[in-house]
Amino acid sequence: MRIGIDCRNILNQEKGRGAGVGHYIYHLVKELTDLDKDNQFVLFFEQDDRNVAKEFKNQNSKIKITILNSKIKIPFFYSHIYVSWKIIKERCDFVHFTANVIPLLYFGKSVLTIHDLVIYKNPDWFPEGQWFSRKVVVPVSIKRATSVIAISETTKKDLIEIFKVESAKILVVPLGVDLTKYQPLDNPNSIINSRIQKFGLTPPYIIFVGTIEPRKNLIRLIEAFQALSNSMELDSGYQLVIAGGKGWKYEPIFEAAKDNQEIIFTGYITEQEKIALMQGAEVFAFPSLYEGFALPVLEAMACGVPVVCSNNSALPEVGGEAVIYCSAEDSNDIARAISEALAKKEILSQLGRKHAENFSWVRTAQETIEIYETIDPV
């Protein structure tokens, strides 16, 4: 078969694009093209991602790279007319659209990955201006797709509840983690200190990794950290590290932390910096209000770091029995969970790493290939 894959949102650290969707596309394509030598792959990249496209060019003789002119200034024309035209020209048997949407003028067979539908459940967590995508593009994409991949059972449940999609059309394929990169260090201090000096911090610290936005519930995490510090439950010198780029409505979060010099915002970090920061942390705290998967939780467990996360949405699917859960609505309960995780560091480190080993990008690719094999190319 000749299979197209939409790589427009792929991981590109040079451009500061490193969210979960980007990691998913990068690792899926990497493992797919390594595992599957029978099918042909046409990979659609934007101009700014030429450097990433080069990584795949020589990986498999059956790969074709198609570069899209992302400099086109009219968003609708580019995303729905031009991209559809470029894809149709390649005469693929079907195309895997990897980030929630299918161009409106593409009517061929398709696999569609849905990462989360949180905007439909809590639209107030997102900026205005996404009406067309939310009301038209995503619903049409889900209806038109031949098969739909959900990255968690939670996302599958949301698809059924919100869009009345038949259960048989949706297949759950969880994300993975690169266990060769994300791993505990036997004697981390000297290595980690050299990597994190630029951020002006030293262990011990608690860390959050993700976009700084209301959905991540960071104001309550800050309140929990301050409560622990004030109650002397944390040893002197503990810091809270909030690592990630600024998202929508980040200002109140910075305001909540302005009087505490022990709270450090790193800004955008590379994957190498993220790994080093996780490996050096005492606890990874992720009290999010809603997640379609939560890749950072899995990455922290792989690094052997005790994890605290909310007991909502897909987080229990990712954390299993290897994390300490808390109520996202209660900063006192977040503080309680952090304190408990510190007291159980050794066992949580072992449980987390073992649990993370159940997730791999190879598994993600293998299960995706199984879905491809169900698509009739005729």
6 and 19, same structural domain? yes
CATH of the domain at 109: 3.40.50.2000
- What's the domain range around 326? 189-356
Alpha-carbon distance 127 to 142, whole Å? 22
In a domain, 232, yes or no: yes
Euclidean distance between CA atoms 1 and 116, whole angstroms: 29
The pLDDT of residue 89: 97
Q: Are residues 326 and 366 in the same domain?
A: no
Cβ neighbour number for residue 57 with a 10 Å cutoff: 11
Do residues 238 and 167 share a domain? no
pLDDT lower than 50: segments of the chain:
none
How far is 137 from 100, CA to CA, in rounded Å? 9
pLDDT of residue 167: 98
What total number of domains does the chain contain?
Answer: 2
Residue 212 lies in a domain: yes
User: Per residue in 74-89, is it b (16+ CB within 10 Å) or e — as a string?
Assistant: eeeebbbebbbebbbe
Instruction: Note whether 119 and 260 are same-domain residues.
Output: no
Residues 347 and 365 in one domain: no
> Are residues 27 and 151 both part of a single domain?
yes
Q: Are residues 253 and 159 in the same domain?
A: no
In contact, 207 and 243? CB cutoff 8 Å: yes
158 within domain boundaries: yes
Please report whether residue 378 resides in a domain. no
Q: Are residues 97 and 201 in the same domain?
A: no
- For residues 149 and 56, state if they share a domain: yes
Is 46 part of a structural domain of the chain?
yes
Closest by CA to 7, choosing from 144, 17, 352, is 17
Angle at which helices 331-343 and 218-230 cross, to 10°: 60
pLDDT value, residue 178: 97
pLDDT at residue 150, as a whole number: 99
pTM over 0.85: yes
Residue 15 is predicted with a pLDDT of 73
Of 336, 210, 325, 199, give the one whose Cα is nearest residue 263: 199
Residues 161 and 204 in one domain: no
The predicted structure's pLDDT at residue 234: 84
Q: From CA 29, how far away is CA 191, in angstroms rounded?
A: 31
Sign for the CA dihedral angle at 351, 353, 354, 357 comes to: positive
Q: Considering the domain boundaries, does residue 312 fall inside one?
A: yes
In order, the DSSP letters of 323-373 are SEEE-TT-HHHHHHHHHHHHHTHHHHHHHHHHHHTT--HHHHHHHHHHHHT
pLDDT of the residue at 189: 61
Are residues 115 and 221 both part of a single domain? no
The verdict on residue 181 lying in a domain is no
| Same domain membership, residue 304 and residue 198 | yes
